[in-house]
């Protein structure tokens, strides 16, 4: 069994795979001040709650866009899993050709998503990851990572409205009934959520045009994917576990 760990700016998602089967997964908050022992103990508790032993794990695989948390987790893997972790980065075989100006600059999560989506659905593809930031990634028919776009995440956008104004409250991300709203809370919800749907559909349409293929598949993932996917005209597939799948696939490609 392997333990895959996806470190985002808001959450760390952990999953246990036995071959291709995801047996269990958990989501914990990303805290850059947590120590390797604190993460080790937390993971130990999650494991024992689900009746797994740390010693069942033969390899830990980590993808991170938060460098400080990554070093802590690498140390945690060595100490608690006696495993030299496979960390997604330069030198790791992903099977994907990265066409960014500087391939080292692309967030590891974006590459891992691209690997999974291409393997599962084939290209050409647009992948939209609704995390702390929202990332859009284009993958060609032949599986090249072409690049994409990055925009402020949905929660970040909502937080900014609250933090930068005197009278706007902190509001839950829930879809309102109508577009024309008659109170502050639903006006904010409508502006953020429906505005976001418009952003997604516009960016995806433009990417499809640049890809030059009307049959481009559009896959959404990330904590807030469902909220937008139900309203969006362009998103056809939602797979909340895309990053974990990608980590499993990359592990297999580096096993030989
Ligand atoms: N299961 C969930 N249900 C609803 N919202 C979620 C869930 N998981 C994460 N979120 C929200 O999604 C956003 C971050 O998504 P996530 O994909 O975890 O980000 P990151 O990969 O950047 O850590 C946050 O606003 C968080 O509150
Ligand atoms: C864009 C991101 C912040 C998204 O991170 P997330 O929202 O998943 O936490 C991350 O992929 C990142 O730091 N990327 C590096 C810059 C780039 O991909 O070009
Ligand atoms: K992510």
Is 8 domain-assigned?
Answer: yes
| Ligand 1 near 240 CB (within 6 A) | no
Is 111 domain-assigned?
Answer: no
Q: Is the peptide bond before 172 cis (omega within 30 degrees of 0)?
A: no
* Mean per-residue pLDDT, 152-178: 97
> How much is the pLDDT for 223?
85
Is the pLDDT at 209 greater than 90? The verdict is yes
Which entry of 109, 159, 201, 213 is annotated as an active-site residue?
109
Is the pLDDT at 72 greater than 90? The verdict is yes
Among 107, 111, 84, which Cα is nearest to 97's?
111
Residue 7's CB: how many other CB atoms inside 10 A?
A: 23
DSSP letters spanning 30-58: --TT--HHHHHHHHHHHHHHTT--GGG-S
Q: Which residues contact 41 (CB under 8 A, 6 or more apart)?
A: none
Q: Based on the fold, state whether residues 79 and 183 are members of the same structural domain.
A: no
Percent of the chain with pLDDT over 70: 100
* Mean per-residue pLDDT, 220-229: 94
Is 110 domain-assigned?
Answer: no
Is 105 domain-assigned?
Answer: no
Q: pLDDT tens for residues 167-198? A: 999 999 999 999 999 999 999 999 999 999 99
| Ligand 2 near 131 CB (within 6 A) | yes
Q: Which ligand 2 atom sits nearest the alpha carbon of residue 150?
A: 1
Number of separate domains in the chain: 2
CA 231 to chain CA centroid, Å, is 20
How many contiguous H segments (helices) and E segments (strands) does the chain have? Answer: 7, 11
Is 254 domain-assigned?
Answer: no
Cα(68) to centroid(ligand 3), Å: 16
Q: For residue 256, give the DSSP letter.
A: -
| Ligand 1 near 12 CB (within 6 A) | no
Q: Based on the fold, state whether residues 141 and 222 are members of the same structural domain.
A: yes
Ligand at minimal distance from the CA of 149 is 2
Q: pLDDT tens for residues 103-113? A: 999 999 999 99
What mean pLDDT, rounded, does the chain reach? 97
Q: C-alpha angle with apex 37: 89 to 43, nearest 5 degrees?
A: 75
Domain encompassing residue 78: 2-87
Rounded Cα gap, residues 69 and 229, in angstroms: 30
Q: Which ligand 2 atom sits nearest the alpha carbon of residue 153?
A: 7
| Ligand 2 near 145 CB (within 6 A) | no
Q: Based on the fold, state whether residues 195 and 141 are members of the same structural domain.
A: yes
Q: Based on the fold, state whether residues 202 and 127 are members of the same structural domain.
A: yes
Contact between 244 and 15 (Cβ < 8 Å):
yes
Is the pLDDT at 218 greater than 90? The verdict is yes
Among 68, 87, 107, which Cα is nearest to 247's?
87
Query: 97 labelled as ligand-binding?
Result: no
User: Is 37 noted as a catalytic residue in this protein?
Assistant: no
| Ligand 1 near 107 CB (within 6 A) | no
Domain at 7, CATH number: 3.30.420.40
**φ, ψ dihedrals at 201, nearest 5°:** -65, -35
Residue with CA at minimum distance from ligand 2 atom 15: 107
Three-state SS annotation for 60-124: EEEEECCHHHHHHHHHHHHHHHCCCCEECCCCCCCCCEECCCCHHHCCHHHHHHHHHHHHHHCCC
Query: 51 labelled as ligand-binding?
Result: no
Q: Based on the fold, state whether residues 179 and 130 are members of the same structural domain.
A: yes
Contact between 55 and 43 (Cβ < 8 Å):
no
> How much is the pLDDT for 111?
98
Query: 66 labelled as ligand-binding?
Result: no
pTM, rounded to two decimals: 0.96
Q: pLDDT tens for residues 45-61? A: 999 999 999 999 999 99
Query: 114 labelled as ligand-binding?
Result: no
Query: What ipTM was reported for this prediction?
Result: 0.94
Q: pLDDT tens for residues 75-103? A: 999 999 999 999 999 999 999 999 999 99
Is the pLDDT at 256 greater than 90? The verdict is no
| Ligand 1 near 140 CB (within 6 A) | no
Q: Which ligand 2 atom sits nearest the alpha carbon of residue 10?
A: 9
Q: Is the dihedral of CA 52, 13, 243, 241 positive or negative?
A: positive
Tell me how far CA of residue 86 lies from CA of 13, 64, 90, 106, in angstroms: 16, 11, 11, 18
């Amino acid at each position: 069994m392997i333990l895959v760990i996806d470190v985002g700016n808001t959450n760390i998602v952990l999953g246990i795979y036995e071959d291709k089967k995801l047996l269990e997964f958990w989501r914990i908050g990303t805290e850059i001040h947590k120590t390797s022992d604190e993460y080790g103990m937390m993971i130990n508790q999650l494991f024992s709650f689900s009746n797994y032993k740390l010693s069942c794990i033969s390899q830990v695989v980590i993808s991170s866009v938060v460098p400080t948390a990554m070093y802590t987790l690498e140390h945690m893997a060595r100490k608690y899993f006696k495993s030299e972790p496979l960390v997604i980065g330069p030198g790791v075989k992903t099977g994907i050709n990265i066409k960014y100006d500087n391939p080292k600059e692309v967030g590891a999560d974006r590459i891992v998503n691209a690997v999974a989506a291409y393997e599962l659905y084939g290209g050409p593809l647009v992948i939209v990851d609704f995390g702390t930031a929202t990332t859009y990634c284009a993958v060609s028919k032949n599986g090249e990572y072409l690049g994409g776009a990055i925009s402020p995440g949905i929660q970040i956008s909502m937080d900014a409205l609250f933090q930068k104004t005197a009278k706007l409250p902190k509001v839950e991300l829930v879809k309102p009934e109508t577009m024309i709203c008659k109170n502050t809370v639903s006006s904010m919800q409508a502006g953020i959520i429906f505005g976001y749907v418009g952003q997604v559909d516009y960016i995806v349409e433009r990417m499809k045009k640049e890809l030059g293929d009307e049959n481009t598949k559009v896959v959404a993932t990330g904590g807030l994917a469902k909220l937008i996917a139900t309203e969006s005209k362009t998103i056809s597939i939602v797979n909340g576990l895309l990053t974990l799948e990608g980590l499993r696939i990359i592990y297999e490609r580096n096993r030989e």
